[in-house]
A = this chain, B = another copy of it.
Amino acid sequence: MKADKKLSEHFLKGHEKYLRHISIDCVVFGFHENELKVLLLKAKYAGKWALPGGFILTEEHMDEAAGRILKERTGLDKIFLQQFYVFSDPDRSTKKINQGFLKNLGIKLDKSWMFDRFISVGYTALVDFTKVIPEPDIFSEKCEWFNIHEIPEMILDHENILVKAWGYLRLQLNFQPVGYNLLTTKFTMPELQKLYETILERNLDRRNFQRKIIDTGILKRLEETKKGGSHKAPYYYKFDLRNYKKALRAGMGFEL
């Protein structure tokens, strides 16, 4: 189907397929080259950027919906997802955005479910950056990663959603397998530390960090080292998922 056809059908008949008034917005976190990244879409015409999002099928679990949406944007199955907040301000004014969108596209419509008010459920997603193949949706022209410190101008309240998700990620650090989901299978201690530092937004002492994380028992050190830097080669580690989950049940005690 042609893109325009898909779009006008979405505006005209989407309400038969999806629950009205409810949308999902996802903040997809990745970690690459020692930087925390977020996956964003460039909205057609609006010029601003948007969070990957979508709607809930009439008989679908909301968590499944979020998984389905992100499978389309990333190519990944079984993404680690958590709902973190519902954004329900009646003045979120999705109406204007969606009307302007159609206008630019050259389609005229007086009524559409897309002009209604939307309550949006925010999800955080943790993915392995290296495995993602970014794919724009029908409303977007691009899909790209951004450094968390270099977020472009965003539509609606999406920047607010993003900031709130980041705060949630920080709170989750001691209770969810954040490292496991954001890093590749094997990684070095400095990489893991940088991940913690970026999320917590503060520097940690290298030696104390290593001791603390080793003492939790959540890591297994490999024989292999990461060569290539002009310095001593750091060991690779991988997570001991069994111990990781056990440790998380009790909470891991990194000060926020």
A32 vs B127: C-alpha distance when bound (angstroms): 46
Chain A 95-119 interface 0/1 with B at a Cβ cutoff of 8 Å (1 = within): 0000000000000000000000101
Q: Flag if B56 contacts A88 (CB, 8 Å).
A: yes
Q: Pick the contact of A88: B63, B85, B90, B251 (CB < 8 A).
A: B63
Oligomer copy total: 2
What residues of B have a CB within 8 angstroms of the CB of A22 in the complex? 21-22, 119
Chain A residues 55-98 with CB under 8 Å of chain B are 56, 58-63, 83, 85-86, 88-90
A23 vs B60: C-alpha distance when bound (angstroms): 17
Q: How far is the CB of A86 from chain B (nearest CB, A)?
A: 6
| Nearest B residue (CB) for A66 | B88
Interface of A is mostly: mixed
What residues of B have a CB within 8 angstroms of the CB of A3 in the complex? none
A22, A83, A256: most-surrounded residue (chain B CB, <10 A): A22
A140 vs B85: C-alpha distance when bound (angstroms): 30
- The contact sample of 21 A-B pairs, CB cut-off 8 A, is A19-B119, A20-B20, A20-B21, A21-B21, A21-B22, A22-B22, A22-B119, A56-B88, A56-B119, A58-B117, A59-B90, A60-B90, A61-B88, A61-B89, A61-B90, A62-B86, A62-B88, A83-B85, A83-B86, A86-B86, A251-B256
